[in-house]
Amino acid sequence: MKPLIGIREAIADPKLIGAALGNPETFFNHIVYIAAALGERLNRQELRAFRKIAGSRKSPRQKVRELWVICGRRGGKTRMAALLATYLALCVDWSEQLAAGEIGYVLLLAPSKEQASIAFSYIRGFIEESEVFSKQVVQPITSEEIRLRNGITITTTAANFRTVRGRTILAAIFDESAYWRSEESATPDYEIYRSVIPPIVASGGFLIGISSAYRKAGLLYSKFKQYFGVSNPEVLVIRGTSEQFNPTLNSSAIQQARDEDPEAASAEWDSEFRSDLSQFLDDEDIDAAVDTNRATELRPDLSKSYFAAVDASGGRHDAYCVAIGHREHNRIVVDVVRRRDPPFNPTDTTEEFANLVKDYGIHTVEGDNYAASWVSTAWESFGVRYRRAEKPKSALYIDGLPAFTRRQISIPNDETLIRELRILERRTSRSGRDTVSDPAGNSTHDDSANALFILINLLRERRQVQSIITTTYQMA
């Protein structure tokens, strides 16, 4: 990439980015790290500011390949992502990277369509407010794309690894990547990163990740651990508080947030990765539990004693799931995990699952203790007793954890179930109490995992009862 104009000049010029940005002093620290990442020389004041947000590393001597920015809430992240998309599309000469007629893409990927649309509005503002940029648009602007005379297309969309394949990517911007969730992958940040790096390397392009901090896992945390404060010529990692990146914020309101919830505030405002959140199940424990050498559903063997658990749904939002399993000595074998994704008729699905469990000789199922009253009635109408679990959801998860850590469970190679298990989070409150759930704001669900852990506890209780009976018999 060959800059046609420096980033600071473009920002200062009222005919270019300066037309829509406003007072550049408000964005001083943002401008400093962007200039550094692009290989521009910093003056003494800028160098002092840079070292404070770059872990005291040296300023890069040339453009880096990857820029990762950990920025607090309301720190101007999305606006800076839009500024970078605009600059890279319109102020850089990519002609040597593009064949005649080839379209080069500047992609901005966000956690959701709604957030992508916010970034797109900023980009559109930067272009339409500039008398120079606005003349470079060659087709009517759509809801997601802006096509330019130089053969570049700016696209903003929800993060999905399928959307990035097959394109000539000159620059990719990951907006709030720590919060990316996907129905198709447990690790969409890594999936997309692996997809965009080859075309970016080929084009000599640019990858930017800009996000708030979250838990100590994922691509953003990995880059922070590996490169923050390290003078690497290819990767620059920046971290700063909300107030460092946006000095106009109300400090007293931020302090109030710290007083009310220190852990959340440290992540949202101070860019500290959360210590009260962790991955509930290790990937190694999940992988060890998956039996890849069997059918997804095992046929019933009526010489065995089976149990079933369900996570019911009304058919509009969540999936309806059933899990069936049995014990083999000290090991739990999960024979079936079946689900119906919405929309569906809940009565028809209950009948289907009732017939399924009866095939395994089961006439009582156990479900979430928060299930609606219709669930019990529906199951009983099809000849199966429905019993509510006595334990709350988090207790079921925590009590069922040893089945994975002790490698005492076999589960089918079910992609949805495995993804749900990987994204489960364990949260420790200030009182020391642990809860387990899928991530806040997650677009995926934990319905299959819920049914699985209800089943695990059923089979654990069965084992305990058998042990008591055996011990009592031996004593007698």
Same domain membership, residue 342 and residue 419 = yes
Domain boundary among 275, 297, 322: 275
d(CA 339, CA 451): 10
Least Cα distance to 268 among 258, 277, 260 occurs for 258
Q: Is the pLDDT of residue 97 over 50?
A: yes
Q: How far is CA 149 from the centre of its chain?
A: 35
Query: What is the total residue count of the chain?
Result: 476
Number of domains in the chain: 2
The 10s digit of each residue's pLDDT in 195-230 is 999 999 998 999 999 999 988 888 999 999 999 999
Same domain membership, residue 264 and residue 386 = no
Same domain membership, residue 287 and residue 264 = no
Q: Which residue has the higher pLDDT, 178 or 369?
A: 178
The 10s digit of each residue's pLDDT in 5-61 is 999 999 999 999 999 998 889 999 999 999 999 999 999 999 999 999 999 999 999
CATH number of the domain within which 107 lies: 3.40.50.300
Same domain membership, residue 217 and residue 304 = no
Q: Which residue has the higher pLDDT, 451 or 253?
A: 451
Same domain membership, residue 271 and residue 292 = no
Report the pLDDT averaged over residues 330-350. 95
The 10s digit of each residue's pLDDT in 57-95 is 999 999 999 999 999 989 999 999 999 999 999 999 999
Same domain membership, residue 305 and residue 257 = no
Domain boundary among 231, 252, 275: 275
Picking from 26-40, 161-175, 239-253, 327-341, which range would have the lowest pLDDT averaged per residue? 161-175
Residue 406 belongs to what domain range? 283-473
- Is the CB of residue 172 less than 8 Å from the CB of residue 207? yes
The 10s digit of each residue's pLDDT in 402-449 is 999 999 999 999 999 998 998 888 887 766 788 888 875 444 578 999
Q: Which residue has the higher pLDDT, 38 or 270?
A: 38
Same domain membership, residue 125 and residue 46 = yes
Same domain membership, residue 393 and residue 307 = yes
- Provide the pLDDT for residue 443: 47
Q: Is the pLDDT of residue 472 over 50?
A: no
Domain boundary among 275, 292, 316: 275
Same domain membership, residue 257 and residue 298 = no
Q: Is the pLDDT of residue 475 over 80?
A: no
- Is the CB of residue 290 less than 8 Å from the CB of residue 411? yes
Q: Which residue has the higher pLDDT, 82 or 260?
A: 82
Same domain membership, residue 263 and residue 319 = no
Strands 307-311 and 364-367 come out as parallel
Model-level pTM?
0.76
- Is the CB of residue 357 less than 8 Å from the CB of residue 338? no
Amino acid letter, residue 208: I
Same domain membership, residue 288 and residue 261 = no
360-390 b/e (C-beta count within 10 Å ≥ 16 → b)? bebeebbbbeebeeebbebbeebebebeebe
User: What is the SS3 string spanning the chain?
Assistant: CEECCCHHHHHHCCCCCHHHHCCHHHHHHHHHHHHHHCCCCCCHHHHHHHHHHCCCCCCCCCCCCEEEEEECCCCCHHHHHHHHHHHHHHCEECHHHCCCCCCEEEEEEECCHHHHHHHHHHHHHHHHCCCCHHHHECCCCCCCEEEECCCEEEEEEECCHHHHCCCEEEEEEEECHHHCCCCCCCCHHHHHHHHHHHHHHHHCCEEEEEECCCECCHHHHHHHHHHCCCCCCCEEEEEECHHHHCCCCCHHHHHHHHHHCHHHHHHHCCCCCECCEEECCCHHHHHHHEECCCCCCCCCCCCCCCEEEEECCCCCCCCEEEEEEEEECCEEEEEEEEEECCCCCHHHHHHHHHHHHHHCCCCEEEECCCCCHHHHHHHHHCCCEEEECCCCHHHHHHHHCHHHHCCCEEEECCHHHHHHHHHCEEEECCCCCEEEECCCCCCCCCHHHHHHHHHHHHHHHHHHHHHHHHHHHHHC
Picking from 10-19, 91-100, 135-144, 463-472, which range would have the lowest pLDDT averaged per residue? 463-472
Same domain membership, residue 328 and residue 194 = no
Q: Which residue has the higher pLDDT, 373 or 134?
A: 134
CATH number of the domain within which 437 lies: 3.30.420.240
